[in-house]
Structure 1
Amino acid sequence: MARCPLREVYLMLGRLAAACIVACIAAPASAEVVAVEVAEQRPWIQGRAFGAGEYELLSGTVRYEVDPTAASSRDIADIRLAPLNSRGKVEFQGPFLLLRPRDAARANGTTILEVANRGRDQSNGLLFQADAFALRKNETREVSRSTLFDLGYTFAWAGWQGDLKTEEFGLDVPSAPVTGPFRATALLGFGGASLDSGAFGEGAICALETGEAAAVLRIHRSLEDPGQVVPREAWRFARRQADGRVAEDRCAFLLSTPVDGPSLVTIVFTAGPSKVMGLGEAAVRDFASHLKHNDTASSLNSRPAYARRLIGYGYSQGARFLRDFLYRGFNADVRGRRVFDGVLDTASGGGRGSFNHRYALPSEAGNSVRSHLRAVDLYPFADMPTPDIGDRGPPQGLLDRALGDGVQPRIFHVLNSTEYWARAGSLLHTTTDGTQEVPEADGTRTYAFAGTAHSPQPSTLFLERRDRAPLPYNDNDDLALALPALLVGLDKWVAGRAEPPPSYRPRLGSTLVSPDKLNFPAIPSVVVPAGPPPRYQLDFGREYRSHGIITEPPQLGLRYPLLVPRVDRDGNELGSWRGLAQSVPLGTYTAWNPQDPALLTFGFLSGLRGAFIPFPATPASGRRSKDPRLSVAERYVGLEGYMAAVGRAIEDQVAAGFLLPQDREWARDSMRTYWDRVAGLRVHWPSRSD
């Protein structure tokens, strides 16, 4: 990449930040996995031989302990307040699952450690395709897309989320004996929900006392609305039971007078002991390091052939976790060694998460109304140091700590369309004021996939009932087709065997634009949102950065300009990589699909599914509907012409490194099925009445 004055400034700032970090590091503590208890070791799928032979499954429990005074623990919020064992250490434990070739000689030397998403995997359907897959009680019988197992990869998972039970593949962590302010949220009046009551949810952080006089409830009409305070005597911590009686409840509220329309309710109250959630990042660090090194010997690390290289993979929440993991310095283990050699950061956008502070909420996500003003989408967004908007504070970059510790991994940032429209994705590669590109950090690539939804609706008729959304759901599967190839490309880069494809993403000045310059075609009955949900600077108070303690409610600062990919005359995105569905399109694919007009005031565009708007079948049907886009008949000469175009596109994807040669037939079959599903959709939508 060509060097420029701005890049030189960022590199200089990165070196200064790194020097400061190195100067503050104390000597590391000892290894922090103290025991691995294997409860199950068996053939994964009896009699099934992959290219690397039969695989075995190991599962059980990992027991950890950390020294709260060690340098390696300094970034775990409230760690010095956690209860200690007789050795002066903090104990915690969680489950693990490992899949590996039974014959270590047939393993390829790379372990993929996936950060689970709310106790579930995001590998099945993206990296491989199995008939069933679960991290607990795995009962897989068949794998139909097995390329990565044929190539000899090992897969590993470890529980990390402290607000999930261990039987939910969570992490059993201690609590710090503290009290402090917490802000709960609830939606009233949406989708038939109550207008006068709500609950904080199972496993929620609840009020210490139902009679707390200082608790404050506000009603908000928009994201920016600071809220109207409801007098304390006009609401209570209570729940209306099925028989109509009202009972006190620390985890619910009841208004004396219902709200007059859809609203967001926030309540600031005093909460009790706080789980030490930051131990989740320590668990991933220490489990990963355990796989690579035998500081504590176990059956997981007795054969080094399995984990000569370690790649961290996460999708959505798991990817945001990995970004936070890197930002907070956890890619150096307790001995200062690199933990992950590579990171496949998929569908995180520019965000991180509420993973490591007092009263953390790991499941909260910035695209959700319930996550409004949470510690999720926070500066810094880009890898390289760049000033915060308004030049507030010294410039920071996501990789400052990894660079300072000398443990930066090779990184692929992978974005879908939703990340630009709901997860502040543009801030990953622009300055915070949206006016300049941020130079790419050495050892990183960024790949944006055009027209892909965060949660595609695969292998369906897109939407079974029209009352769920105004448009059919986006089921573009391009990212899933490409992800195994990206993982193999990252692995080759880590091993020094091959350079990956250059970054492919929208660029300022051409294909990355403000939403008012989207240039979306005038398709009948399609209403284009004004833009992504807003993101603001958030001031969590003076103790947040030093101790992870949030002052509630946080204060809004400047609004970040969020940019989106420009579209072509079909409404499909430009500047991002076009996979098969976008290279040989049958319609328009969007990241938005507004479901409830009332939710738009809260920036809620469509959840995570986006929309698919099929092309007219023929020129005549296009004229009747006044659709400006070319019809399918004008693009392809029937199914035969479509599949011929698919065949050429498949070869282009393989040549560019976005499809494995072994996945050619899988891709061809997927696209053949896709033609039939779109044909069915034209009958099903919109003429069918529900």
Structure 2
Amino acid sequence: MKLDIQRVESAFEGLTFGALGPYEKVVGRAHGQVDPHHPLNVDIVNLDKAPRNTSGLVEYAVDFCILKPVDMSKSNRRILYDAPNRGDKLALVDLNESVKGLGSNELGSAEDAGNGFLMRQGYVVVFSAWDGAVAPGVGYVEHASGHLLADFPIATNDGATIVETCREEIICAHTDGQAQAPLAYPAHEPDRGSATLTVRQHEPDARVVVPRDRWRFVSNREIEIDLIEGFDAGAIYELIYAACDPIVMGLGLIGVRDLLGFLRYENADNEGRPNPLNIDGQIGVDYSIAHGRSQPGRFLREFLRLGFNEDMSGRPVFDGLYITLTGSRGMFLNQPFSQPGRFPRHHEDHLYPGDQFPFSYSTKTDSISGKTGGILARCLANNVCPKVMHVDSSTEFWQGRSSLVVTDELGNEIEQPDEVRTYLLSGSGHAGPQMLAHAPMYWSPSLNPVNELDYCALVRALIVALDEWATQGTEPPPSHYPSVTDGTLVSPEHLNFPDIPGVTYSGAINTL
């Protein structure tokens, strides 16, 4: 690991946090190189097809940002790693109730500190890129600055271009005129004429072919559609085309493992530059906890499932994981032509990967696929399991199939590992008020009012409990999650929705 520190500057306009004093921001890029044949790396899809340097290693680079006390000796010697959501930093939204929320990634103003919770606790807050699909200025907030970007190589077949049939689902959000749609991967020029575009109103509807003169390639990364009459703004347009140049997206897992392992355990990088978290030349942190909300939470579940909580020296990377708002989902990440931002929603993207076994932390055999596995299986086998808090809102039961976190495919309750606690933020929605203020896609398509229940205080309490559990062995509150055994988890057929004036209820859920 080589750290290129680009700048060190005052954070939050020099705001001080009691005896801890002011914080500073360290911004840079981490450069890694990995052996594609090492046993801890071989599960990364297409890593063996990536270009290699003269040492036979695959190179990659990821942006990082660190918030730390100016005087590191005043820190609590703990890393709080926040896995970004499509390049955006969320920890200060969830935990500090940052007023600016997603409107700022720069973390330079006093407003960005919010209530100062993480700083007053003395955490070293680390953010780093893992999503190779993020482009500059394209996150949850359009044109917001400070997105964290990753540079991962393109796989080839011994230098020859890899081509594969791919699909893009497109929601145009309006009904008149034309719409432009970017493509996740470039269209292979010789095969552009074979591409097809269809439209349907809902997922199970029959596809209607869009005539070739009603759409066109603007470039190999974008199409233009003359919108079809008779469909509303939620219509699903589906492009099937020959794509090329798959990114080795699974390197995001390696990047987090190696950067966080370095910050926790190493005094200096490969070129002798000191770890920015050192105190008087010695390692300055003792523990590491990760926070992942929604998409990054699904990333952390994949990180565990694929065995990446073990660094190259066999040491645990994280002592605790706070995984929230994921339901039972995984991620379309470590696959050819992956799109990490996609996940099966109620209306669209239903056919993309992300809902594959295993769903639960416990190891079990799936009677449908015949597979055996569990999210914690690998870390249990290698004795590197963190303490895990899995926290969902009510939305995840309707949209994210949360029941599979605690039941098998037949609806039977399964016992949770000792390393896991599960909690439901009952009555809450996927996005709190801070998110809603800066991410209009959460509320703009909604017929009913959006749930603005603020659960940040509960998140802070659980983070404290997770820290004490992971670092001191203090037992956290027992799990508080719907259960088949006590009758709080029931099938949709046995649930009645209250009659609320002005609220339309369809009874629809996001089925698997």
TM-score normalized with structure 1 length: 0.65
Does residue 1:372 correspond to 2:350, yes or no? yes
**1:266 pairs with 238, 243, 265, which one?**
238
- Selected match of 1:444 from 383, 405, 420: 420
Q: Which deviates further from its counterpart, 277-286 or 50-59?
A: 50-59
What CA distance in whole angstroms lies between the structure 2 residues aligned with 1:405 and 1:55? Answer: 37
SS of residue in 1 equivalent to 2:185: coil
Q: Partners in 2 of 1:105 and 1:286 — Cα distance? A: 24
Preserved contact between residue 129 and residue 144 of structure 1 (Cα < 8 Å): yes
Matches within 5 A, 1:184-333: 184-187=168-171, 191-194=173-176, 198-201=179-182, 204-209=184-189, 212-225=192-205, 227-228=206-207, 230=209, 237-238=216-217, 251-254=222-225, 258=228, 260-262=230-232, 263-294=235-266, 296-297=268-269, 298-303=274-279, 306-333=284-311
- Structure 1 contact 50–149 (Cα < 8 Å) conserved: no
Alignment-derived partner of residue 109 in structure 2: 140
Structure 1 position 441, deviation (Å): 0.9
Letter in 2 for 1:518: L
1:113 to 81, 84, 92: 81
Q: How has the CA–CA distance of structure 1 residues 468 and 95 changed in structure 2, closer, same or farther, with 3 Å as cutoff?
A: closer
Structure ranking higher in helix proportion:
1
Aligned partner of 1:492 in structure 2 is 468
Which residues of 2 match residues 550-565 of structure 1 at below 5 A?
none
Q: Separation in 2 of the partners of 1:295 and 1:429?
A: 41
3-state SS, counterpart of residue 334 of structure 2: coil
User: Paired residues, what number?
Assistant: 483
Question: Residue by residue, what CA displacement relative to the aligned partner does 1:186-245 show, whole Å, maximum 9, x if unpaired?
Answer: 236xx53348x65432x63232127534434343343234x4363875665335xxxxxx
* Structure 1 Cα separation of the partners of residues 224 and 472 of structure 2: 57
Equivalent residue for 1:363?
341
- Check whether the contact 1:132–1:141 (CA below 8 A) recurs between aligned residues: no
Summarize the Cα distance change of 1:133–1:293 in structure 2 as closer, same or farther, 3 Å threshold.
farther
How far is the alpha carbon of 1:103 from its aligned partner? 2.5
How far apart are 1:532 and its partner, in Å? 1.5
Distance 2:61 2:459 in 1: 31
Name the SS of the counterpart of 1:57 in structure 2.
strand
Shift in CA distance, 481/47, structure 1 to aligned 2, threshold 3 Å: closer
Offset from partner CA, 1:434-492 (integer Å, 9 cap, x none): x21111111110010111111133599999xx986433221100x21111111111111
- Give deviations 1:327-373, integer Å, cap 9, x for gaps: 11111112221111110001111112112111111111322644221
Cα drift, residue 521 of structure 1: 2.4
Tell me the alpha carbon deviations over residues 279-309 of structure 1, each in whole angstroms, 9 at most, x when there is no partner.
Answer: 1111111111011111744232433564211
Counterparts of 1:308 and 1:354 in 2: how far apart (Å)?
Answer: 33
Deviations, residues 629-672 of structure 1 (Å, cap 9, x unaligned): xxxxxxxxxxxxxxxxxxxxxxxxxxxxxxxxxxxxxxxxxxxx
SS at match of 1:237: strand
Q: How does 1:36-55 map to 2 (within 5 A)?
A: 36-45=3-12, 46=14, 48-55=16-23
Over 3 Å counting, the alpha-carbon distance change for 1:48 and 1:130 in structure 2 is farther
Letter in 2 for 1:41: V
Q: How do residues 8-23 of structure 1 correspond to structure 2 at under 5 angstroms?
A: none
Pick from 484, 503, 506 the counterpart of residue 482 of structure 2.
506
Among 117, 134, 150, which residue is 1:171 paired with? Answer: 150
Change (3 A) 1:124 1:151: closer
Distance change >3 Å, CA 208–CA 522, structure 1 → 2: same
Query: Deviation above 4 Å: which 4+ runs of structure 1?
Result: 131-136, 231-236, 458-463
Shift of 1:324: 0.8
For residues 500-649 of structure 1, the aligned pairs below 5 Å read 500-508=476-484, 510-535=487-512
Query: Which residue in the other structure is 1:95 paired with?
Result: 63
Q: Give the secondary-structure state (helix, strand or coil) at the position aligned to 1:265.
A: strand
When Rg is computed on C-alpha atoms for both structures, the one with the higher figure is: 1
Q: Distance in 1 between matches of 2:108 and 2:223?
A: 38
Answer yes or no: is the 8 Å Cα contact 1:108–1:305 preserved in 2: no
Q: Answer whether contact 1:175 1:273 (CA < 8 A) is retained.
A: yes
Q: Which residue number in structure 2 is paired with residue 70 of structure 1?
A: 38
Could you say if the C-alpha distance between residues 387 and 229 of structure 1 is closer, same or farther in structure 2, counting changes exceeding 3 Å?
farther
Relative to structure 1, the CA distance from residue 212 to residue 101 in structure 2 (aligned partners, 3 Å threshold; closer, same or farther) is closer
> Cα distance, 1:63 vs. partner?
0.9
Q: Aligned with 2:472: secondary structure?
A: coil
Q: Is the 8 A contact 2:36 2:48 kept in 1?
A: yes
Residue number among 383, 393, 396 corresponding to 2:373 in the alignment: 396
- Gapped regions of structure 1 (runs ≥ 5): 1-32, 240-247, 536-690
Percentage of matched positions with identical amino acids: 28
CA contact (8 A) 1:42 1:58 kept: yes
Structure 2: distance between partners of 1:432 and 1:162: 32
- Name the CA distance, whole Å, in 2 between partners of 1:461 and 1:305: 39
Q: How far apart, CA to CA, are the structure 1 residues paired with 2:480 and 2:202?
A: 35
122, 126, 136: which one aligns with 1:156: 126
Matched residue type, 1:440: Q
| Contact kept? 2:198, 2:210, Cα under 8 Å | no
- Partners of 1:153 and 1:70 lie apart in 2 by 33
Residues 107, 74 of structure 1: alpha-carbon distance in 2 compared, 3 angstrom cutoff: same
CA distance in 1, matches of 2:422, 2:468: 16
Answer whether contact 2:287 2:319 (CA < 8 A) is retained.
yes
Task: State the alpha-carbon separation in 2 of the partners of residues 100 and 512 from structure 1.
Answer: 42
Q: 2:93 aligns with which of 116, 119, 125?
A: 125
**Alignment check: 8 A CA contact 1:216 1:229 kept:** no
How many Å apart are 1:148 and its aligned residue?
Answer: 2.8
TM norm structure 2: 0.87
Whole-Å separation in 1 of the counterparts to 2:322 and 2:123: 15
